[in-house]
Structure 1
């Protein structure tokens, strides 16, 4: 009976995913005043008094910070935990004016997030997140993708789901990869042998 109960609790914990969050502290060792983010922040002007005094932080999920508003002008934060664990460090914060987690807040959702990228960074600028069965008409060649919910997606060189294709797969709650060198204009959820796709396990990159 104990074994069955333990197995059930463990399974629920693994399947439930987690909510992405980032907490910034004004003292080392997660001390002092704390400011917690659970949303995407395109302009951090309001929080600058706190950000100037940051001396440690803790992250859960995949977080990127940028030197200018609207996720532009160089990356200042790049923290990643794929399994819901929390990573903490003692450090000051580079000048940061925008901040976001990748993809949806809840990592259990099966989704793909597609990034246009900027000269400074592949994960900057425009982000589109799709939770349906397909993704197209995003208007640019994808430079970087984030998968959530232990999902797989097939990317095609044409916007109508035709042409050369690549299967991107992740067994983690969050997986991510750059896709420079590939022209991808549409995605469908799942991978099928009929597409004869190149296979990419993003967890091993």
Structure 2
């Protein structure tokens, strides 16, 4: 009986240790808006991508404080269009005074869970590169995007190589990050296919995404 009790206690300690590690190394992307500064008044929290925030329009003018986790982008129009109203990128929960009264849609970049190795691409414009259509890839390779991406987001501290041609050939760029979520404008870089990882055989141009955040 004593042996079984000790074994259960050992597994519980191990489980607690692993949970602590997990909570330290990963987070879900979320955004909370408060009606008063310093966490005051009514609040509403998002963990979803919101293409149409019309229903929240009467409340936006009252927002005075937000707390966020992850990489979020707000837009002046529905469907992630009409220019950026705010951009928020944090590797942990941080809070700030802010106003979001012109925001009609918003989303976090990439998947909800940032430990997932992924690459996300966007069909934005020169003035709003992270807008438009978002495509998220978690497999080892991707092509046939349907558009030439204007922005890229990486999660899970993963590295990716982008090629100028759809058949994973031609000039390429290695994108590297040590962050759980990071993004970069692709201005001047044409990408039509992607593979996870970076390999010297591709003779790629190297871009440290963390240094251009």
**TM-score, normalised with respect to structure 1:** 0.91
Q: For the Cα contact (< 8 Å) 2:126–2:150, is it kept in 1?
A: no
Q: What is the correspondence of 1:92-103 to structure 2 with a 5 Å cutoff?
A: 92-103=99-110
Instruction: Select which of 23, 31, 39 maps to 1:13.
Output: 23
- For 1:163 and 1:52, the matched residues in 2 are separated by 49
- For 1:136 and 1:99, the matched residues in 2 are separated by 26
Q: For the Cα contact (< 8 Å) 1:117–1:126, is it kept in 2?
A: yes
- For 1:91 and 1:172, the matched residues in 2 are separated by 25
Counterpart residue number, 2:42: 33
Instruction: Select which of 167, 170, 193 maps to 2:174.
Output: 167
Of 151-160 and 47-56, deviating more is: 47-56
Alpha-carbon offset, residue 10 of structure 1: 5.8
Question: Secondary structure of the equivalent of 1:61?
Answer: strand
Q: For the Cα contact (< 8 Å) 2:75–2:104, is it kept in 1?
A: yes
Q: For the Cα contact (< 8 Å) 1:107–1:148, is it kept in 2?
A: yes
Question: Is 1:197 equivalent to 2:207 in the alignment?
Answer: no
Counterpart residue number, 2:147: 140
- For 1:125 and 1:88, the matched residues in 2 are separated by 27
Counterpart residue number, 2:124: 117
Instruction: Select which of 125, 129, 137 maps to 1:130.
Output: 137
- For 1:198 and 1:54, the matched residues in 2 are separated by 43
Counterpart residue number, 1:45: 54
Question: Is 1:176 equivalent to 2:183 in the alignment?
Answer: yes
Counterpart residue number, 2:31: 22
Counterpart residue number, 2:80: 71
CA, structure 1 residues 9+36, in 2 after alignment: closer, same or farther (shift >3 Å)? closer
| Higher Rg of the two aligned structures | 2
Structure 1: gaps (5+ residues): none
Alpha-carbon offset, residue 87 of structure 1: 1.7
Alpha-carbon offset, residue 13 of structure 1: 3.5
Q: For the Cα contact (< 8 Å) 1:73–1:120, is it kept in 2?
A: no
Q: For the Cα contact (< 8 Å) 1:28–1:91, is it kept in 2?
A: no
Q: For the Cα contact (< 8 Å) 1:18–1:106, is it kept in 2?
A: yes
- For 1:13 and 1:60, the matched residues in 2 are separated by 13
Q: For the Cα contact (< 8 Å) 1:56–1:91, is it kept in 2?
A: yes
Counterpart residue number, 1:152: 159
**TM-score, normalised with respect to structure 2:** 0.88
